[in-house]
Structures are given as C-alpha cells and as structure tokens.
Amino acid sequence: MKKQQNVLRRSILAALGVAGMVAYSDQAAAISPATLPILTAGAVATVESASGNPAAPSIAATNTTPHRAWSDNSIHNNGWTHNAEFRIFQVGSEADIAAGTRFDLTVDLQAKPGVVTYTKKRIDGVTTLVGPTPVTPLNSPAFSIWTSGSDPLVAGRSNGEGYGHAWNQVRGGYGDGGTADDPCGWGGDCALGSNGWLGSGGGGNVLDGHDAWIGYANAGYSFTNGDGDKIQGLYAGAGNPDNLGEYGGGASDPLNGTALYNVNQNSPYVGSGEAVLSFGEAILNLTGLKAGYYLIGYAGACPDDNANGQGCDLGGGNAYKLTASNNGVTTVPVPGAVWLFVTAIAGISIVRRQRIS
C-alpha cells in the first residue's frame, strides 16, 4: 500500500511539473475552506464559478473544480483532498445551536454553463490575450457533508505522505474506517480510518466516528470506493451495472450493506433526507438537521479512472453553482393518537362546562 501511495505521488508530481510541485505540496498537506454566510431560517448561501475578466489583474475563471475529484483518486475512487472544493457553513444562530433547534436544509450542486476564461501567451516578445475559452460545466456533480456538532468547525490536515491525500465520501471522522477486506481504509491508519485527518487525527474537530457523516448526493456513476463502500449514483457504472448503492458504514457499523441510503440513518444530527439527481444537478434535501457547524466537500464524480468513457481531465476546472438553503424550522407533526387524546380531553371539558351551566 505504501508503495502504491509513493508511485501515485510521483506520478502526480510528474504530471504537474516543477511549477506545480510547490502548490501541490501545500494543498496536499492542508485544506483551508472558506466559510459561507450563516444559514438562519430562510437564508440562502451561494458560491459559484465566475468568468474571467480580460481587463482585470486576474483573467482566469474563478471557483472551478475538477470533474474527477469527488471520486476517482486514481483507481481507488476516493475523493482527492487537494483538488476538491471544501466549504464550512453554520446552520442556525448561536441561540438555535444552544437550543438544539432543527431545520430543513436543501443543498443543490449543479453545472453552470456560459462561464469563460482567458489566458495570456507571450509570442515573439509580445503578450497576447487568448480567449474567451469556454469552461466545461460540472456535468456529474457530487458532494458529501460532515459535522463538528455545536463547536465551530476546524478542518484537519493531512500528513502529506499519502494519508489524507484521499477521503471517503460516506464515512465519518476519526475511527470510522475500514471494512472486513480493508480494515485500515485506503491510505489511512487502522485506528484513524480514511477520514481521520478531517478531525482529531489531523488536528481538526469533525466528530470522531460515523456520527460525523451526514449524507451525500452523486449525479454521476455508481461505483465502489477504495474502502469497499458502494456509492449510489444517477447512472449505472461499469463496476456497478445494477446502479445499486450501499450505505457507507464501516466494518463495525450495523448498517453497513443496507441499500440505497443517502443520509446517515443513525446520526443524531439529522432526521432524514433524500437525494434528487438529474444530469448536471445533485440535490440533497435534509429534514431535522440540527443547528450547528458543517463541512461540505464537492467536485465531479468520475469513478474508475475514466468511467464509461467520460474522459475526465485531472487538472481541468469545471464550472458549477452551489446553493445551500435553510427552508425553516422542522415541523414535527403531532401523532394521530396524541391528537385524538387531546381532542377527547377538550370534548370532556366542553361537556362538563355545559353541565355546570
């Protein structure tokens, strides 16, 4: 396994060239997610790709992410830490967090057409502007969400030597790693798991164990990741022709192997949820999401290195729009039996008043 990691690392550095080595080294060792605006009831937060401006100092398109970063990582199909996008977001106010208020949240990641970029080339001593060049839309968007609970989220650091170079889309933090076939998690450590670096294993505070993982949505192909978890997607993949996904559990998780869950059914931080998938758009509707702090990791899904002839580019950025909407406080329906009991009591009170009068 160590040999595989070293070969992979050398291959990436060779592909990037000398100019990319410093950036790769820095990115592989840490992620520094920006924070979205606070999502109180009714609030909406958006981050999206923007076209380059030929008259500005920076002429390249901004906020793009690769097609093969939420899944792939060579043949391992885990996420690419240094290529995927990450954002921190807070659901509810501080008072909501203290009160344990729950909200309904919608996260929508979709392809964004119409984005262009520019470059400059120097030819015969003359700098020439090249463009506009269209930026490919993120046609197979996918994302995962984790939580640090009621504590402001701090992202962890990988060790830069393979561990933390990749992450599992459907696992929690420290200690939630491995299967019977791969007890340590790809690139990980038996005690940490593939996502240990996100939390206490890497100096961050994403919760330890499976509770940290909230859910995912994948508008790409179904696949099996490097830890043996089958990931449900919009399309049947070459390695998963029946288009069936499994809950991402872990060797000791009792739910490992049950079918078609996109949300952690055991987490105390979310009640339920469902993924709505279509070409170029992945939506996750969460019900009963507890006020607190969350981390989303997102990019394109291109499993199996080049799944089904997608021809995903490792370094090319794709254009997207990410929207998180707080739809308001979760409405808890009153059970029918309770309603009947309350109604009966009210009826008795009315009868008694009538008799007294």
What's residue 87's pLDDT?
97
Q: b/e map of 189-208 (b: 16 or more CB within 10 Å)? A: beebbbbbbbbbbbebbbbb
Distances (CA, A) of 181 to 92, 155, 156: 40, 29, 27
DSSP helix/strand/coil, 332? coil
Tokens 């970029």, residue located: 117
In contact, 65 and 137? CB cutoff 8 Å: no
* CA–CA dist 165, 177 (Å, integer): 15
Kind of pairing between the strands at 317-329 and 116-123:
unpaired
Q: Provide the residue type at 330 as one letter.
A: T
Q: 156 and 206 in contact (C-beta within 8 Å)?
A: yes
In angstroms and rounded to an integer, the radius of gyration of the C-alpha atoms of the chain is 23
Describe the strand order of the beta sheet including 85-91 as a list of residue ranges.
34-35, 85-91, 292-300, 141-149, 213-218
How far is residue 356's CA from residue 44's CA, in Å, rounded to a whole number? 55
Could you give the CA distance from residue 273 to residue 106 in angstroms, rounded to a whole number? 9
Give the model's pLDDT for residue 98: 98
pTM above 0.85, yes or no: no
Contact 280, 111 (CB under 8 A): yes
Residue 2: helix, strand or coil by DSSP?
helix
Structure token pair of residue 281: 């758009």
- Topology at the third CATH level for domain 2-356: Jelly Rolls (2.60.120)
Question: d(Cα 70, Cα 353) in Å, to the nearest integer?
Answer: 66
Q: Which residues are CB-contacts of 206 (< 8 A; sequence separation ≥ 6)?
A: 146, 147, 148, 153, 155, 156, 172, 173, 195, 198, 199, 212, 295
The gap between the terminal CA atoms of the chain, to the nearest Å, is 85
pLDDT at position 288 is 97
Q: Angle 71-135-65 (CA atoms, 0-180°, nearest 5)? A: 30
Note the pLDDT of residue 80: 85
Residue by residue, pLDDT tens for the chain (357 residues) are: 333 433 333 333 333 333 333 333 334 456 789 999 999 999 999 999 999 999 888 899 999 998 888 987 666 788 888 889 999 999 999 999 999 999 999 999 999 999 999 998 888 888 889 899 999 999 899 999 999 999 999 988 877 666 677 888 988 888 786 554 454 555 556 567 788 888 888 889 999 888 999 999 998 888 778 777 778 888 766 555 554 444 333 333 333 333 345 888 888 999 998 888 888 999 999 999 999 999 999 999 886 555 555 566 656 789 999 999 999 999 975 444 444 444 454 444 444 444 444
User: ∠ CA 295-169-301 to the nearest 5 degrees?
Assistant: 105
| pLDDT for the residue numbered 311 | 60
Per-residue confidence (pLDDT) for residue 291, from 0 to 100: 99
The pLDDT of residue 228: 77
Q: At what angle do helices 2-16 and 18-29 cross, to 10 degrees?
A: 130
Helix (H) or strand (E) holding 25: helix 18-29
Is residue 270 a contact partner of residue 264, using CB atoms and an 8 Å limit?
A: yes
Going 236 to 242 to 247 to 251, the CA torsion angle's sign is: negative
Cis upstream peptide for 241 (omega within 30°)? no
